[in-house]
């Protein structure tokens, strides 16, 4: 497994980690992924997967980079401290490697939230501080509010069909030396990626490289400087397959071919805003409805 530096923190992490959003497969697939070299596992207090992650890393904790997130409703100073303690208990570990603000919360000053995050670093309960789903403006404010310890990462959606961050955020993070952790690097479902590939570019590239379509799609993300990916796999086979996306690279010409043939998109600011403010139950309802649409319309909800 190839590793990449985590910002300027002086440590490296596997470029393919293990995502656990809506993960339901138990301990064994995670352990197989760890055995395959994906020694970077990401969870969140809101996912409900911290306990299974704790079981998966038991006995090999010193080898695994564990990341989790605090939810926006816990961004007040004392609530951050309590949330971290609760996550540590569920994970059955004594220190979180990367503690991330899950989403921006304009109702709480980011200065207050980051003061609590830095208190956790001082206490030895957190190694590094990161954010998730932050725009350039939000990230700039958070970086200014980080007085003692730098923000090292921004976890955002990025894949071969959703390239919204390329408009400005990706370049900002690369120029600032911040690691981009790509979630949903295979789409919310891989079918949503295939919906945007009606000409079969991924299948053609898989035959050309001797890889699978999922490995090609993941490798496309990994070709970007400073980007690591945390795909989810709800079976041992899928987790091991995802790990096979590391250790090789698509050529520049192969990436250009995918760029030409796949019907990728970038979300506009209004769409991104609407998606950001919709409550999760409504988002799920929209996705469920979208799955019943023809592929051409379904692509709009990728």
Question: Which run of H or E residues covers position 65?
Answer: strand 65-70
Phi first, then psi: what are they for 153, rounded to 5°?
A: -155, 160
Tens-digit pLDDT profile for residues 208-263: 999 999 999 999 999 999 999 999 999 999 999 999 999 999 999 999 999 999 99
Q: Specify which residues 100 forms β-bridges with.
A: 69, 130
How far, rounded to the nearest angstrom, does the alpha carbon of residue 227 sit from its chain's CA centroid?
Answer: 10
Identify the structural domains of the chain with CATH numbers, from first to last. 3-187+211-251 (3.20.20.100)
Tell me how far apart the alpha carbons of residues 253 and 264 are, in angstroms, rounded to a whole number.
Answer: 17
**Measured on CA atoms in the order 95, 101, 107, 109, is the torsion positive or negative?**
positive
Identify which of 275, 262, 284 has the alpha carbon closest to the alpha carbon of residue 195.
262
Q: Which segments in the chain show pLDDT lower than 70?
A: 267-281, 283-302
Please answer whether residues 126 and 84 qualify as being in contact, where contact means their C-beta atoms are separated by less than 8 angstroms: yes
Tens-digit pLDDT profile for residues 259-281: 999 999 876 655 555 555 666 66
What share of the chain has pLDDT > 90, as a percent?
Answer: 87
- Please, how many CA atoms are within 13 Å of residue 123, restricted to the half-sphere of its CB? 14
Query: Considering 47, 99, 158, 183, which one is annotated as catalytic?
Result: 47
Phi first, then psi: what are they for 251, rounded to 5°?
A: -75, 165
* Residue 99 annotated in active site: no
pLDDT of res. 86? 98
pLDDT of res. 265? 86
> SS3 helix, strand, coil % of the chain, rounded to 5?
45, 15, 35
Helix H segments across 153-300?
A: 169-176, 190-194, 201-209, 213-222, 236-243, 252-261, 269-277, 280-290, 295-298
pLDDT of res. 131? 98
Helix H segments across the chain?
A: 27-35, 50-57, 77-91, 110-122, 136-145, 169-176, 190-194, 201-209, 213-222, 236-243, 252-261, 269-277, 280-290, 295-298
């Amino acid at each position: 497994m190839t590793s990449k530096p985590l910002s300027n923190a002086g440590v490296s992490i596997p470029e393919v980690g293990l995502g656990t959003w809506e993960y339901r497969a138990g301990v064994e697939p995670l352990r197989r992924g760890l055995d395959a070299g994906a020694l970077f596992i990401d969870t969140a207090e809101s996912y409900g997967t911290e306990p299974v992650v704790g079981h998966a890393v038991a006995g090999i904790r010193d080898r695994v980079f564990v990341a989790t997130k605090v939810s926006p409703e816990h961004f007040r100073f004392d609530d951050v401290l309590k949330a971290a303690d609760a996550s540590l208990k569920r994970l059955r570990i004594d220190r979180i490697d990367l503690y991330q603000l899950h989403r921006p919360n304009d109702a709480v000053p980011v200065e207050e939230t980051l003061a609590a995050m830095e208190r956790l670093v001082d206490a030895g309960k957190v190694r590094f501080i990161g954010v998730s789903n932050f725009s350039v403006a939000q990230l700039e404010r958070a970086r200014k509010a980080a007085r003692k310890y730098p923000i090292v990462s921004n976890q955002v959606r990025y894949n071969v069909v959703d390239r919204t961050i390329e408009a400005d955020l990706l370049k900002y993070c690369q120029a600032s030396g911040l690691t981009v952790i790509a979630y949903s690097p295979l789409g919310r479902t891989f079918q949503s990626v295939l919906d945007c590939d009606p000409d079969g570019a991924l299948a053609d590239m898989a035959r050309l490289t001797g890889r699978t379509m999922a490995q090609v799609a993941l490798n496309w993300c990994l070709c970007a400087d400073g980007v690591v990916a945390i795909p989810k796999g709800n079976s041992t086979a899928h987790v091991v397959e995802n790990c096979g996306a590391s250790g090789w690279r698509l050529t520049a010409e192969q990436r250009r071919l995918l760029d030409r043939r796949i019907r990728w998109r970038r979300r506009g600011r209004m769409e991104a805003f609407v998606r950001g403010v919709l409550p999760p139950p409504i988002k799920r309802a929209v996705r469920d409805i979208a799955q019943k649409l023809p592929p051409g319309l379904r692509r709009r909800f990728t």
